């Protein structure tokens, strides 16, 4: 009998979000435009969009996106008090679920959150 199928790899160079957030900050919001290979925005009308962030304590923060312009694939995630906890290379993914309940999950990317000084 063949062995188990390999899981998605956690090794290699994972893309890092190009901003270091600060513990307990509520800005900046994470504004994203989902685009095809040619750079055109993808219509996300009817989709539910969710961010999953595995924090350093292994808890998972789940944030639902606020639509900005779903016809061109634009949405944002807003932070609340206590959402951002310090840690480097916290793994995140974005899940898109269509109106029929079919999910599509992004590749893993990394977020850094530095400790708040004051």
Q: 34: closest CA among 104, 111, 110, 117?
A: 104
Q: What is the mean pLDDT of residues 85-97?
A: 95
**What integer pLDDT is reported at residue 11 of this predicted model?**
41
Tally of CB atoms within 10 A around 28: 11
Span 16-45, pLDDT tens digits? 888 899 999 998 899 999 999 999 999 999
Would you say domain 22-114 falls under CATH 3.40.50.180? Answer: no
Q: pTM for the complete prediction? A: 0.84
Contact status, residue 53 vs residue 64, Cβ threshold 8 Å? no
User: For the sheet containing 66-69, what is the strand order?
Assistant: 30-33, 74-77, 66-69
The percentage of the chain sitting over the pLDDT mark of 90, rounded to a whole number, equals: 76
In the chain, what are the domain boundaries?
22-114
**What integer pLDDT is reported at residue 14 of this predicted model?**
82
C-alpha separations of 16 from 8, 19, 95, 109 in Å: 17, 8, 17, 6
**What integer pLDDT is reported at residue 9 of this predicted model?**
44
**What integer pLDDT is reported at residue 3 of this predicted model?**
38
């Amino acid at each position: 009998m063949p062995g188990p199928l390999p899981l998605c790899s956690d090794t290699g160079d994972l893309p890092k979000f190009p901003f270091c957030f600060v513990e307990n900050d509520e800005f900046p919001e994470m504004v994203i435009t989902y685009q095809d290979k040619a750079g055109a925005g993808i219509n996300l009308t009817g989709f539910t969009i969710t961010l999953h962030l595995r924090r350093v304590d292994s808890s998972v923060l789940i944030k639902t996106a606020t639509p900005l312009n779903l016809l061109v694939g634009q949405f944002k995630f807003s932070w609340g008090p206590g959402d951002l906890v310090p840690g480097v290379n916290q793994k995140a993914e974005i899940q898109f679920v269509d109106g029929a309940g079919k999910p599509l999950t992004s590749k893993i990317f990394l977020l850094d959150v530095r400790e708040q000084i004051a």
